[in-house]
């Protein structure tokens, strides 16, 4: 694969998975599989209700990765450009991604602005782009991409979990900064 994506979103401080996480001794005894992998199945029929299955023999992790990358973070490779259409929860300030295209790294900083103010704005190395995408060039340099989008106005429905229910948080709160993350924070 010619592209590599490294997402610096912390999952409960980087110590727990986003996947099904049993929290009590009884839930752990019922789930019975590793909490640090994505299970293909979580049974819903008695007598195995809540039990995980197929934890290592699954494409679930790949699909989960694509769901987060393409649908939530809104990053989609289109030949030689990266389309940007984040669909973030209202309680996220933003996120940072270090996107490697061949031998070139794009440091992408996304932040949400006040609700309903303007349209999505994208800059590449300080130059505003004409739409929500950036051209990808393999020039072996590092590039800074800043994405500012209006915070969505959504009234949460009762019973619908928020991101905090899944332990999701963002590590980089100084978004739209032109400098890359410190070396120890960059994942490779």
Calpha distance 105→69 (Å, rounded): 17
pLDDT, tens digit (0-9, with 9 covering 90-100), for 34-90:
877 777 788 889 999 989 888 877 777 788 888 889 999 999 999 999 999 998 888
- Give me the CATH topology for the region 3-185: Maltose phosphorylase, domain 3 (2.60.420)
Q: How confident is the model at residue 136 (pLDDT cuts 50, 70, 90)?
A: very high
pLDDT at 126 over 90: yes
Q: Return the higher-pLDDT residue of 63 and 9.
A: 63
| Cis-peptide, bond into residue 13, ω within 30° of zero | no
Q: Is the pLDDT of residue 187 over 60?
A: no
Domain assignments of the chain as residue spans, ordered by start = 3-185
pLDDT at residue number 151: 84
Task: Please tell me the predicted confidence (pLDDT) of residue 185.
Answer: 32
Highest mean pLDDT among 52-61, 87-96, 160-169, 177-186: 87-96
The HSE-up count of residue 12 (CA atoms within 13 Å, CB side) is: 12
* pLDDT at site 158: 41
Q: What is the pLDDT of residue 64?
A: 80
Burial (CB count <10 Å: 0-12, 13-18, 19+), residue 176: middle
Kindly report, residue by residue over 15-34, the tens digit of the pLDDT.
Answer: 334 445 678 899 889 999 88
User: Of 41-45, 144-148, 181-185, which gets the smallest average pLDDT?
Assistant: 181-185
Q: What is the pLDDT of residue 173?
A: 31
On whether the CB atoms of residues 109 and 171 are closer than 8 A, the answer is no
Task: Let me know: does 115 contact 152? Beta carbons within 8 Å.
Answer: yes
> What number is the average pLDDT over the span 79-102?
93
The number of residues making up the chain comes to 188
Q: What is the pLDDT of residue 116?
A: 67
Distance CA 85, CA 32 (A): 38
Residue 149 has pLDDT above 50, yes or no: yes
- 48/115: higher pLDDT: 48
């Amino acid at each position: 694969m010619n592209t590599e994506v490294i997402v610096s979103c912390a999952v409960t401080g980087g110590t727990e998975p986003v996947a099904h996480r049993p929290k009590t001794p009884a839930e752990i005894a019922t789930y019975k599989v590793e909490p640090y992998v994505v299970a293909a199945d979580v049974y819903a029929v008695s007598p195995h209700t809540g039990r995980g299955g197929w934890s290592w023999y699954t494409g679930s992790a790949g699909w989960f990765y694509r769901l987060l990358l393409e649908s939530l973070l809104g990053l989609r490779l289109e030949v030689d450009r990266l389309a940007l259409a984040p669909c973030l929860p209202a309680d996220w300030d933003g996120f940072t991604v270090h996107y490697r295209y061949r031998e070139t790294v794009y440091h992408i900083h996304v932040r949400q602005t006040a609700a309903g103010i303007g349209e999505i704005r994208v800059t590449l190395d300080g130059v505003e782009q004409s739409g929500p995408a950036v051209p990808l060039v393999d020039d072996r340099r590092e590039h800074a991409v800043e994405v500012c989008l209006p915070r969505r106005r959504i009234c949460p429905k009762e019973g619908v979990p928020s991101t905090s229910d899944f332990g999701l948080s963002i590590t980089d709160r100084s978004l739209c900064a032109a400098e890359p993350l410190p070396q120890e924070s960059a994942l490779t």
